[in-house]
């Protein structure tokens, strides 16, 4: 597994917290497995030197209980006539700062950010379009309004193309954009279930690229959208952007990110949504995406 600087820094901090190291900088690629094994022996779990689910949980759970809590913050969004959605959303404070900066740039470029929400209440369950490990639960993702694109590509504020590796690429209309002819995907209606493509002409700016500047990235469509029959638009996910830069691949865990939130205790999370708490050890980029 590739260990980048953020991963090594956090692991060093955790091992220092548990008094395995004197300081985070003492952790190196050479002694990594040995130090992980030393921690595993200290807490009496399988000592194999591999930092996965139980090991990471044992490392992070006591640590996160001593960290400052992060509040949810209300953010303004853009409500357009004839398009469903809200004029605000809630995100975890660190994600909210990034969202506000993103919206400021998009607005200055002549675009808008519509929304169907950010933070998801813990009491809300999973479904065909809602994963139990969704980054909406810790307030680290936002959705553009799901009907502000994909159905009327000649007039919608957003149009959608298929980027690399199966990810959508979202563009927004703006008089400040570059004149382009784009081949876009669309459905004729919410229930049509048939992919169509058409050419659109106009001035567009790449929303996906700008969102990435602020640490927000798209996800792939769900199986409910890509399967051959009974396809569901709610699984399309072109509208979803998540603050992936606030998480550390192969280290961040769902339950830990929830416990960082103000007023979210282990008992509160467990009693409010047992399914989410049951996946508390899910690791970002391992079994949590």
- Helix/strand/coil (H/E/C) assignment for every residue in 114-130: CCCECCCCCCCCCECCE
pLDDT per residue as tens digits for the range 60-103? 999 999 999 999 999 999 999 999 999 999 999 999 999 999 99
SS3 percent helix, strand, coil of the chain, rounded to 5, is 30, 20, 45
Structural domain tally of the chain? 2
Q: Mean pLDDT throughout 164-181?
A: 95
Whether 284 maps to a domain, the answer reads: no
Please give the biggest Cα pair distance in the chain. 63
**For residue 59, pLDDT beyond 80:** yes
With cut-offs at 50, 70 and 90, classify the pLDDT of residue 163: confident
In a shared domain, residues 114 and 240: yes
Residue-number span of the structural domain to which 28 is assigned: 5-67+247-278
In a shared domain, residues 30 and 94: no
- CATH for 191: 3.30.1380
**Mean pLDDT of the chain, nearest integer:** 96
What percent of the chain has pLDDT above 90?
Answer: 95
Q: What is the pLDDT of residue 130?
A: 76
In a shared domain, residues 98 and 158: yes
The residues, any chain, with a CB within 8 Å of residue 7's CB and separated by 6 or more, are 248, 249, 250, 251
Whether 287 maps to a domain, the answer reads: no
pTM of the model: 0.95
Q: Exposed/middle/buried for 188, CB within 10 Å: 0-12, 13-18, 19+?
A: exposed
Q: Exposed/middle/buried for 103, CB within 10 Å: 0-12, 13-18, 19+?
A: buried
The structure tokens 């953020």 sit at 6
């Amino acid at each position: 597994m590739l260990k980048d600087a953020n991963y090594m820094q956090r692991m060093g901090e955790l091992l220092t917290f548990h008094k395995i190291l004197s300081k985070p900088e003492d952790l190196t690629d050479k002694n990594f497995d040995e130090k992980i094994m030393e921690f595993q022996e200290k807490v009496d779990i399988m000592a194999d030197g591999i930092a996965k689910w139980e090991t990471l949980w044992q490392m992070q759970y006591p640590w996160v209980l001593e960290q400052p809590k992060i509040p949810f913050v209300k953010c303004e969004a853009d409500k357009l006539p004839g398009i469903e959605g809200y004029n605000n959303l809630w995100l975890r404070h660190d994600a909210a700062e990034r969202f506000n900066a993103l919206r400021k740039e998009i607005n200055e470029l002549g675009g808008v950010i519509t929304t169907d929400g950010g933070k998801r209440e813990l009491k809300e369950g999973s479904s065909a379009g809602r994963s139990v490990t969704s980054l909406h639960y810790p307030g680290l993702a936002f959705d553009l309004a799901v009907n502000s694109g994909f159905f009327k590509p000649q007039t919608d504020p957003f149009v959608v193309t298929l980027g690399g590796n199966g990810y959508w690429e979202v563009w927004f209309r703006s008089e400040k954009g570059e004149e382009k002819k784009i081949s876009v995907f669309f459905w004729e209606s919410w229930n049509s279930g048939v992919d169509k493509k058409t050419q659109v002409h106009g001035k567009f700016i790449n929303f996906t690229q700008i969102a990435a500047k602020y640490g927000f990235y798209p996800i792939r469509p769900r199986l409910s959208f890509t399967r051959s029959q009974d396809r569901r638009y709610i699984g399309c996910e072109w509208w979803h952007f998540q603050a992936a830069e606030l998480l550390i691949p192969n280290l961040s865990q769902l339950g830990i990110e929830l416990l960082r939130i103000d007023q979210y205790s282990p008992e509160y999370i467990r009693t409010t949504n047992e399914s989410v708490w049951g996946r508390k050890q899910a690791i970002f980029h391992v079994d949590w995406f």
